[in-house]
Amino acid sequence: MASSSPSRFSEPNEVDDLMNSSPMGPSPRATQGPRGTIRRRDQLEDDETDPNPFARRMPPLNLRAATLNQSDLADLQNFARSKKLKREHVEDIVKFMNLPSGPLLHESYMYATQLATLEEVRRIATSQPPWAPSKDFVTNVRALCYGALLSTSARAYKGTTLTSNVSASPNKIVFERRFDLPSNIRTIPADEAKVTKVITDQMSDARSGIKKDIAASVNHKPPKANAKPTKPNLDDADQHMGLKQLAENIGRHLGSRFELTAGFCARVALLRSVYMEFHEKNFWDKLEDKIEEYHFKARRKLEESGKALTADKIAAKVSKAFKGLVVQDRKTHGDTESNKNDGIDDLGEGGDELQQLIDQSFVPSGAGAGAGAGAGSNEQLDGPAGDEQ
């Protein structure tokens, strides 16, 4: 049998070699019974059911019998050092071993390993840097913000309302889907504030990005700061970007799984029509006002006709008005002939899973899921928004 010399511990992974080489190795320990008989450790397990197991045992082993010899002690100290334990840990192990009822050699090795593990966990915990939003997290939030601003269900574009809906308050999408957020993010105010800041910043960037895309679609260059404002014009309207092309261009912000829908195209048509009139400032306020105007007129027409004022009927009226915007955009921007065959009328509704989740997260109370939708209805067109405008 190989000797248990200190040189055996040059590598920390040779624990098994140590246990097999030690004269006190893996064989179960024996102890004397009260009449001098030898009882193995596994036989002592029967004592657990004995009503008075100590009555048949000898007094505890004395200190000299429980301690290891100097060779084993040196081996253990080398093993502890190979685990990179601190000096106080090595001393702690020695003290622990020298207790009258202390563990045996291989049990001491287990204790040393546990201490090493605890020390590593403590080191990792104290060296963790403060949590910061990852690049992937910011990318996901950016897609959420664009999705909220372009949602066919959106009616409020500024202030806290839409920001709450981006995170799907009260079941906030960001915290519900989690992405790569820490599990305890809601219990650390500083980290939760970082998430809120990411949403706020990305919402602001998304608003700016959408306006820039619309401006580029009509060959309009917004003036620089303090410069005289310029107006987009229709002199080169045939050179403008067609509606479907513009919708696909804006949709790139929503990720590779984005699905173009008729309602999305109608919403983009609304955005461009408002931009042509209110491009300088208050664009998002005017957009919000325009949507509310459609809903107000839809309710009024239903009331005047004596029909039931239901969410679905209001949604149908608003959808018809939005379809009129699609027709008007085709006539105004881009190549008229090409626009006739752009395929928007053949597009479906619904969109990808994430966009549906966003749409459903903030459908206003009292309005159907299609309240802000667009060209998905099969109703007969009645001109460029007809008397709904």
Q: Which helix (H) or strand (E) holds 40?
A: strand 38-40
At 273, list the tokens: 């029509």
Give Cβ neighbours of residue 201 (< 8 Å, ≥ 6 apart): none
pLDDT value of residue 169:
38
pLDDT value of residue 68:
62
Give Cβ neighbours of residue 347 (< 8 Å, ≥ 6 apart): 260, 261, 262, 265, 375
| C-alpha distances in Å from residue 280, one per residue of 208, 222, 235, 236, 292 | 12, 8, 19, 20, 21
Q: Is 66 exposed, middle or buried (0-12, 13-18, 19+ CB in 10 A)?
A: middle
Q: What is the DSSP letter of 241?
A: P
At 271, list the tokens: 């955005």
Which CB contacts under 8 angstroms, 24+ apart, belong to 162-170?
162/203, 162/362, 163/199, 163/200, 163/203, 164/362, 165/361, 165/362, 166/141, 166/199, 166/203, 166/358, 167/199, 168/357, 168/358, 168/361, 168/362
Name the percent of the chain in helix, strand, coil, to the closest 5.
Answer: 60, 0, 40
What residues in the chain have per-residue pLDDT under 70? 1-68, 96-103, 105-106, 158-172, 362-389
Distance (Å, rounded) from C-alpha 329 to C-alpha 262? 13
pLDDT value of residue 2:
45
Give Cβ neighbours of residue 119 (< 8 Å, ≥ 6 apart): 85, 86, 89
DSSP secondary structure letters along 269-324: HHHHHHHHHS-SS-HHHHHHHHHHHHHHHHHHHHHHHT----HHHHHHHHHHHHHH
pTM, whole model, 2 decimals? 0.62
Closest to 9 (Cα-Cα) out of 80, 71, 69: 80
Q: What are phi and psi of 39, to 5 degrees?
A: -120, 130
CB atoms closer than 10 angstroms to residue 328: 18
Give Cβ neighbours of residue 53 (< 8 Å, ≥ 6 apart): 47
Q: Is 252 helix (H, G, I), strand (E, B) or coil?
A: helix
Give Cβ neighbours of residue 126 (< 8 Å, ≥ 6 apart): none
pLDDT value of residue 387:
36
Q: What angle do CA 117, 118, 120 make, to 5 degrees?
A: 65
pLDDT value of residue 281:
78
Distance (Å, rounded) from C-alpha 107 to C-alpha 72? 13
Amino acid at 240: H
In SS3 terms, 318-365 reads as HHHHHHHHHHHHHHHCCCHHHHHCCCHHHCCCCCCHHHHHHHHHCCCC
* Location of structure tokens 């309602």: 263
pLDDT value of residue 187:
86
Distance (Å, rounded) from C-alpha 196 to C-alpha 206? 15
